[in-house]
Amino acid sequence: MHNVALDALIKHYQSVFPEETATRLRHIIVWTDNAPHQYRCRQNFIKVLTIAARHHGIGMTHRLAVVDTFKGIHDAVGKDPAHLVRSLELIGIRPKNTYTVFENCSRCLQRTKDEKKWKGYKTKKEWRFRNKRRFGMNTYTCWFVVETQE
């Protein structure tokens, strides 16, 4: 499933950084938590090794974390949807299926306001832009990923 998401993310960022511009997408770096059944299996290694064949002109670095010591800001990102689902259930909004969970997260977790805020700080060269740090998020986008279109 994560390989389907990886291909979709690459296609998305190819549109963000089109080939006609000087800042086209040339290389991606993927950090993963080294889960053995997700990232250390032959299927994943084949998908990673064939990135260039599926996405012309794009290189990839896949960094597998040291087991049990890869805690960081990315861990908190996954907690946001879980917290939202629990909060909604407490007020009586219970999802019927996983797609309903996605719809709720997509509606409630989009952070376009923050994106405008950071772009404004960057444009005006304000000191607050420095608070964003290296791994600060511009946007929070929810995707519903399935293996096949059906």
Burial of 53 (0-12, 13-18, 19+ CB in 10 A): exposed
Q: What is the pLDDT of residue 90?
A: 93
Query: Which residue has better confidence, 9 or 18?
Result: 9
Q: What is the pLDDT of residue 105?
A: 85
Q: Is pLDDT at 137 greater than 70 in this prediction?
A: no
Query: Which residue has better confidence, 44 or 61?
Result: 61
Query: Which residue has better confidence, 60 or 131?
Result: 60
| Mean pLDDT (the chain, rounded) | 77
Tokens at 27, concatenated: 């290389």
State percent of the chain over pLDDT 90: 4
Indicate the pTM of the whole model. 0.61
Query: Which residue has better confidence, 68 or 94?
Result: 94
* Coarse DSSP helix, strand, coil percentages of the chain, rounded to the nearest 5 percent: 55, 10, 40
Q: How far is CA 120 from CA 74, 89, 125, 126, 138, in A?
A: 25, 36, 8, 8, 12
Burial of 2 (0-12, 13-18, 19+ CB in 10 A): middle
Backbone phi and psi for residue 28, each to the nearest 5 degrees, phi listed first: -120, 150
Residue in this structure with the two tokens 């993310």, named with its chain if needed? 9
Among residues 145, 105, 97, 138, the alpha carbon closest in space to that of 119 is found at 138
Among residues 101, 13, 103, the alpha carbon closest in space to that of 57 is found at 13
Gap between the Cα atoms of 105 and 111, Å rounded = 11
Q: What is the pLDDT of residue 132?
A: 60
Express each pLDDT in 73-126 by its tens digit.
566 667 778 888 899 999 998 888 888 888 888 888 765 455 666 677 667 776
Q: What is the pLDDT of residue 116?
A: 66
Q: Is pLDDT at 48 greater than 80 in this prediction?
A: yes
